[in-house]
Amino acid sequence: MVYEAVIGLEIHVQLSCTSKMFCDCPNRPGDDPNTNICPICLWLPGAVPRFSLETLEKATLACLALNCDIQSRSAFDQKVYYYPDLPKGFQLSQHHMPLSRGGWIDIIDENGKPKNLRLHHAHMEEDVAKLVHETEGRTPISLVDFNRAGTPLIEIVTEPDMRSPHDAMAFLKVLRTQLRYTGCAECSMDQGTMRCDANISLRPHGSDQLNTKVEVKNMNSIQHVGNAIAYEIKRQTESLKNNEPIVLHTRLWDPEKRITTAMRAKFEGPCVPDPAVTHILITDEWQQNMASKLPEMPQQKVKRFVRQYGLTHDEAAQMSSERELSEYFEAVVKLGASPRTVANWIATQLLPAMKEYGHEFATTPVTARRFSGLIMMLEKNEINSNSARSVLTKLFQTAQSPEEIVDQFGFRQVSDTGMLRGIVDQVVSDNMSAVENYKNGNKKSIGFLVGQAMKLSQGKADPKRLQEIIREKLA
Amino acid sequence: MQETRYTYLDSSPLPASADGALSGLSVAIQPNMSVRGWPTSAGSRALEGFTAIYDATVIERLKHAGAHIKGSIRMSELGFGLAGDTGATVLHKGDIDCLLVTDTMGEARMTACVAGDFGFKPSYGIVSRFGIIGLIPSMECCGIAAKNIKDIAGAMSVMAEIDSRDLSMPEFGADLHIPRFDRVFETREQIPSCGVVKECIDMLEKDESRAFSAAMARLAGRGLQIDEVHLKDFELAREVHNVIGAVEASSSAGKYDGVRYGHRTETAKNWNDMYMNSRAESFGVLVKTYLFQGAYFQYENYNAFVDAARIRARLLAQTESALERFDVLLLPTRRAAFDPSGAHTINTVYDVFSWTLIANITGHPAITLPHMVACGDTDLGLQLIGPRFQDERLLSIAARLTDLDREAHHHGL
């Protein structure tokens, strides 16, 4: 029998709020242990939670970016369980009345076709503390760091619309891009600011039943999610072939061994309405105000870049993959450089260089103005692309303008025909065998000759003009 | 010995300023109200040795107004039920004007009733819960037992105020006001219309019923309009309180795990053991039973909780509609046959609070008046329930009824 995988994801995303969800403590889990804590997030006796408006704003923006329906009334529930990382015996989450329902995002499937993936709902919840297990002498001890306790999360629960590891990975990439666009979340799986659990079940191809699922946790990259799902599909297929029943449980992905191992029966604790946190009532007006704060989302931006700047779809997609990148691209273009050259240079030269120097768009000294200056000199043939690459390196190392760098280091392109002819004469007389080859029909030899001429000009000659002159001379 | 009645007596000098609104008012509290530096165990081993690190909002306000917070007295574990007759004894002999008692099922009113004093539970949401260790958040609020209504009004005028640290308080504004307790005695109330809760009267024993009728007849003789009123689901109030109360208590007490503060067991092999043993050692039988009940409804019978929540909404609607017809609802405060200070099981605790817990379920303000409903040697107390957020009017009416009853006695009725 041919089986089809049915995959749903549950994704926890840390919101980039300045404070925690129910108190004023800074939302900086990485600080020294137990420095960002107070009576509320430690749940000292008598503490009363104070729900933060910032959490609601960021959560709402995130939900709107995923096309969710914001609910006019939502409320918190207590997810009851006991664990040392949970300071009060329950986690404040939204179960019965989530902040939003529905929602969708579009991906491109394996066959290159668009596919719409639906969300079931998205809700707010608080994160738990961090446990550190150590030993003191020979005694194992567990330390609790409450810095993360009470920091704001949204949990996004999808419908079981995904059918392959590709779908799941594509979903996560699009989700990440869209949420990053809103500025509400960093969504880094390796930093733990985005965490994903996958629910996987199998069914005979063509059937529409939903069978017992298995939950897989502990994937800390999008690639791991894909690998874990692929493994789980294989494992469940073999189980079914051997007539072993699939049992509802939770498995852990082991990235070293690249397998999943059974962890525990899937935990379903009680969820009771919380009596202390107020219900959240959202007016149409407030929601519209939030919607007006949403930036142009990546899908729209891709279309606009194609239409407005004549980029190919791939170029537009690449220039829209991050909000800061897209804004940088547009800023450079607005200063007068031609869009496709800019897109090409950002993709092939600037991004690798920024990675090498560890720069971010917001803070890099290679500002849009300096970069556009460079590209425009290239376009005006004032420098050739060889020199342009050298100038780019200097832009990272000095504070000078591209014009100053070109002048100071003599990168200006030599286009003077007389001068170029002199160089060509020299090259032709020095490389007679290559000239012979060319004359015998090996047209590729011209590349070698141009290369020699460029070398002689110390990289400053206009390669196009050089080629023309060599062709003329050997014709 | 006065000291033995208190678990903690403040040794700091009396408040210096004599010009505060509450200067000269002496107040005792229970150790579930945070006073910076005071032991705050809430009567539970779970919080053994716990010292408050800040003042509860009510404490801050009382101190600021010049009240003297004299000390704290013994309380039942986490405020569930009464701790014997400690509260009544302190009110009698403790040199205080007011005793603050968290009223979760009627504790403030019952303490006053036993002591022969006035006991008041304000509207839910007008007193900040910040810094008060609670058990059933949706039912409880800080109540007062006192020798007279004037001191209740005085303390409440300071305590009832919006607090940015407690967002669960209603949004007071143009349409909804915090009751003006400073106006309780400003105007003399018209003779109020009173509705006697029929379903409650039907459940009284014969002698209780006779005592209550006699009191009603005496007041009617002074011109009070008294009619029957129905709260159809009154009979279910006790179960509603028990189910919802146990569920909320189970969650609220979840934080007492010995990880961050409070009692931690000496004997544990691993953290799971530590949890189980710490909690097993932390709570007394009564509270433990209640928490088990709550866990049962959470894990095994959530539908019962949903039912209780639905009936609660009905009780609220019935009370609201009864209060559209009458200024106040009347019912006794306590039952003659059940000893408030001797209740040691969930059932006997609920027996004691049978007539008071309705106001905790619906959030209405309620007050008990002494010396008006005598059943043999027992004062059953006359309980008044008024409209939400019109607490000052309820206190006014209470004062008027007290006067009327005195006049009736004076006229030998």
Domains of chain B by range and CATH?
A: 2-163+175-239+305-410 (3.90.1300.10)
Rg (CA), chain B: 21
The candidate with the shortest Cα–Cα distance to A153, out of A42, A69, A218, A76, is: A76
User: What distance in Å separates residue A140's CA from the closest CA in chain B?
Assistant: 9
> For residues A57 and B189, what is the distance between their CA atoms, to the nearest angstrom?
48
Sorting pLDDT into bands at 50, 70 and 90, what band is B272? confident
Contact status, residue A185 vs residue A179, Cβ threshold 8 Å: yes
pLDDT of the residue at B395: 97
3-state helix vs strand vs coil in chain B, percent to 5:
45, 15, 40
pLDDT of the residue at B219: 93
The candidate with the shortest Cα–Cα distance to A144, out of A157, A154, A129, is: A129
- Summarize pLDDT for A247-282 with one digit per residue, the tens: 999 999 999 999 999 987 766 788 999 999 989 999
**CA triplet A86, A88, A92: central angle to 5 degrees?**
80
Sorting pLDDT into bands at 50, 70 and 90, what band is A443? confident
Contact status, residue B123 vs residue B385, Cβ threshold 8 Å: no
- According to DSSP H, which parts of A183-248 are helical? 222-241
Judged on CB neighbours under 10 Å (0-12, 13-18, 19+), A53 is: exposed
* CB pair distance less than 8 Å for A46 and B302: no
Give the mean model confidence (pLDDT) for residues B7-14. 83
The answer to whether residue B8 neighbours chain A at the CB level (below 8 Å) is: no
Distances A145 to A50, A133, A192, A334 between C-alpha atoms, Å: 21, 11, 16, 48
User: What distance in Å separates residue A277's CA from the closest CA in chain B?
Assistant: 6
> Residue for token digits 């309980």?
B383
Task: Say if strands B6-9 and A100-101 run parallel, antiparallel, or are unpaired.
Answer: unpaired
> For residues B177 and B183, what is the distance between their CA atoms, to the nearest angstrom?
13
Indicate the range of A79-93, A436-450, B214-228 predicted with least confidence.
A436-450
pLDDT of the residue at A362: 86
Contact status, residue A43 vs residue A91, Cβ threshold 8 Å: no
Indicate the residue of A78, A88, A270 with minimum beta-carbon distance to B302.
A270
pLDDT of the residue at B134: 93
Residue A435 has pLDDT above 90, yes or no: no
What's phi and psi for A261, nearest 5 deg? -125, 145
Helix, coil or strand: residue A459: coil
Contact status, residue B226 vs residue B325, Cβ threshold 8 Å: no
Q: Which residue of A has its CA nearest to B32?
A: A46
Write the single-letter amino acid at A187.
C
B-chain CB neighbours of A80 within 8 Å are 250-251, 254, 298-299
pLDDT of the residue at B346: 96
Helix, coil or strand: residue B328: strand
The alpha carbon dihedral of B338, B339, B340, B342 has a sign of negative
What global pTM score does this model have?
Answer: 0.87
> For residues A308 and A331, what is the distance between their CA atoms, to the nearest angstrom?
14
Q: Looking at chain A from residue 259 to 278, which residues have their Cβ under 8 Å from any Cβ of chain B? A: 269-270, 272-278
Six token digits for residue B104 = 């979760």
Residue burial A209-219, b: 16+ Cβ < 10 Å; e: rest: eeeebbbbbbb
Indicate the residue of A39, A45, A278 with minimum beta-carbon distance to B47.
A45
Judged on CB neighbours under 10 Å (0-12, 13-18, 19+), B202 is: exposed
Sorting pLDDT into bands at 50, 70 and 90, what band is A418? confident
* CB pair distance less than 8 Å for B165 and A50: yes
> For residues B112 and B97, what is the distance between their CA atoms, to the nearest angstrom?
12
The answer to whether residue B130 neighbours chain A at the CB level (below 8 Å) is: yes
- According to DSSP H, which parts of B12-67 are helical? 57-64
B-chain CB neighbours of A142 within 8 Å are 271
pLDDT of the residue at B1: 43
Residue B2 has pLDDT above 60, yes or no: no
The answer to whether residue A89 neighbours chain B at the CB level (below 8 Å) is: yes
Q: Which residue of B has its CA nearest to A48?
A: B130
Provide the phi-psi class of A137: left if phi over 0, else alpha when psi is between -120 and 50, else beta: left
The alpha carbon dihedral of B48, B49, B54, B59 has a sign of positive
The candidate with the shortest Cα–Cα distance to B142, out of B103, B99, B170, is: B103
Q: Give A262's strand partners.
A: A251
> For residues B248 and B80, what is the distance between their CA atoms, to the nearest angstrom?
13
Distances B44 to A21, A42, B261, B280, B402 between C-alpha atoms, Å: 29, 19, 13, 12, 38
Q: Which residue of B has its CA nearest to A142?
A: B271
The answer to whether residue B167 neighbours chain A at the CB level (below 8 Å) is: yes
> For residues A315 and A305, what is the distance between their CA atoms, to the nearest angstrom?
9
pLDDT of the residue at A395: 94
* CB pair distance less than 8 Å for B56 and A270: no
Give percent above pLDDT 90 in chain A: 73
Judged on CB neighbours under 10 Å (0-12, 13-18, 19+), A182 is: buried
pLDDT of the residue at B17: 63
DSSP string covering B127-183:
B--TTB--S-TTT-EEEEEESSHHHHHHHHHHHBS--TT-TTS---SSSS----GGG
> Residue for token digits 């946790």?
A217
Contact status, residue B364 vs residue B388, Cβ threshold 8 Å: yes
Distances A82 to A72, A123, B49, B130, B258 between C-alpha atoms, Å: 32, 22, 23, 25, 12
Helix, coil or strand: residue B214: helix
Where exactly are the structural domains of chain A?
3-284, 296-409, 417-474
Contact status, residue B55 vs residue B63, Cβ threshold 8 Å: yes
Residue B412 has pLDDT above 80, yes or no: no
Q: Which residue of A has its CA nearest to B303?
A: A272
Residue B413 has pLDDT above 60, yes or no: no
- Under DSSP, the state recorded for A164 is S
Six token digits for residue A454 = 């460029």
Rg (CA), chain A: 29
Judged on CB neighbours under 10 Å (0-12, 13-18, 19+), A2 is: exposed
pLDDT of the residue at B59: 97
Q: Which residue of A has its CA nearest to B138?
A: A275
Q: Which residue has the higher pLDDT, A208 or A121?
A: A121
Question: Topology of domain A417-474, per CATH?
Answer: Arc Repressor Mutant, subunit A (1.10.10)
Six token digits for residue A165 = 């590891």
Task: Give A37's contacts (C-beta < 8 A, 6+ positions apart).
Answer: A25, A146, A147, A149
Helix, coil or strand: residue A117: strand
pLDDT of the residue at A355: 92
Contact status, residue A236 vs residue A41, Cβ threshold 8 Å: no
Residue burial B338-371, b: 16+ Cβ < 10 Å; e: rest: ebbbebeebeebbbbbbbbbbbbbbbbbbbbbbe
- Longest distance between any two alpha carbons in chain B, whole Å: 73
- Under DSSP, the state recorded for A267 is P
Contact status, residue A454 vs residue A463, Cβ threshold 8 Å: yes
Give the mean model confidence (pLDDT) for residues B345-359. 97
Length in residues, chain A: 475
> For residues A296 and A425, what is the distance between their CA atoms, to the nearest angstrom?
56
> For residues B95 and B263, what is the distance between their CA atoms, to the nearest angstrom?
33
Indicate the range of A121-125, A381-385, B130-134, B263-267 predicted with least confidence.
A381-385
**E strands of B242-340, at which residues?**
328-332
User: What distance in Å separates residue B272's CA from the closest CA in chain A?
Assistant: 8
A-chain CB neighbours of B248 within 8 Å are 275
